[in-house]
Amino acid sequence: MSACIWVVVPAAGVGKRMQSNTPKQYLPLGANTVLDCTLGQLLSHNKIAGVLLGLGSEDSYWPDSIWFGHEKIKTFVGGVERADTVRLGLDYLSNQLGLKNDFVLVHDAARPLIAHQSIDDLLANTNPCGGILAIPAKDTIKQSLETSKPSCVEKTIDRNLIWQAQTPQKFMIKTLIDAIDYAKSQGVEVTDESSAMELSGYQPALIEGDTRNFKITLPIDLVIANALLMHEPLQ
């Protein structure tokens, strides 16, 4: 793997569950925004070569970012779905920078509390299939009888086998391109890069992450993130 690595950050979504007119990545967090905090953590890591930031076609917030115009950030217009945006970022790395057999990280714009140690642990893993940060399940896990609500418990699942996926996720650029293309050809909607890799038969490594690296999805998540930033500054 190269000494330095690029990160694709899909940030074209609107975050409907945040109950806000402002896309969640631009909501205030500490003295900045969620996205600014995320980019700050990535860009301050000594192994990050640069960030490819996928933005919405009508994004009017990015010019106000503290990172707007930064030399290590390249922006592009994202696609309809997350996988489309990631795929476009991979195209840039492959076609513009000539990177194909190098690894790439993909990180959620709304995970601003990613610690440098977690990135170090992910980069240190040598599984050729790549790897993801994840958290082992701690609670008792129930499987529902049906998907409609209200539902009932069908059975209890062995929590020792359950991990909650996080990002960054690390994969070889060309392999991830092929995996995303294959998932699309099969009509399968993948919610993270690992899902696409798994569909193509790969078994990415699970690297235990940090519980602070949660995805800001609901309004309460922003409250928790602000509290953590106030009392536990990131490194």
Average pLDDT over the chain, rounded to whole?
93
Amino acid at 229: L
Are the CB atoms for 16 and 45 separated by under 8 Å?
no
Whole-number Cα distances in Å, 9 to 31, 107, 125, 149 = 21, 5, 21, 33
Res 65: pLDDT: 97
Query: Ramachandran region of residue 33, left (φ > 0), alpha (ψ -120 to 50) or beta?
Result: beta
CA–CA distance, 37 with 33 (Å, rounded to integer) = 6
Q: Dihedrals φ, ψ of 59, to 5°? A: -70, 115
Tokens encoding 115: 């610690």
Annotate 90-119 with DSSP letters as a single string. Answer: HHIIIIIS--SSSEEEE--TT-TT--HHHH
Q: How many Cβ atoms are within 10 Å of 55's Cβ, its own excluded?
A: 21
Q: 112: Cβ–Cβ under 8 A, 6 or more apart, which residues? A: 29, 34, 35, 37, 38, 41, 216, 225
- DSSP secondary structure code for residue 3 in this structure: S
CA–CA distance, 24 with 37 (Å, rounded to integer) = 13
Tokens encoding 6: 């690029």
Amino acid at 100: K
Are the CB atoms for 219 and 139 separated by under 8 Å?
no
pLDDT tens for the chain, 235 residues long, are 456 999 999 999 765 566 568 899 999 999 999 999 999 999 999 999 999 999 999 999 999 999 999 999 999 999 999 999 999 999 999 999 999 999 999 999 999 999 999 999 999 999 999 999 999 999 999 999 887 777 899 999 999 999 999 999 999 999 999 999 999 999 999 999 999 999 999 999 999 999 999 999 999 999 999 999 988 777 7
Which run of H or E residues covers position 226? helix 219-231
CATH 3.10.105.10 corresponds to the domain 5-231: no
Coil vs helix vs strand at 163: strand
Length of the chain: 235
Amino acid at 4: C
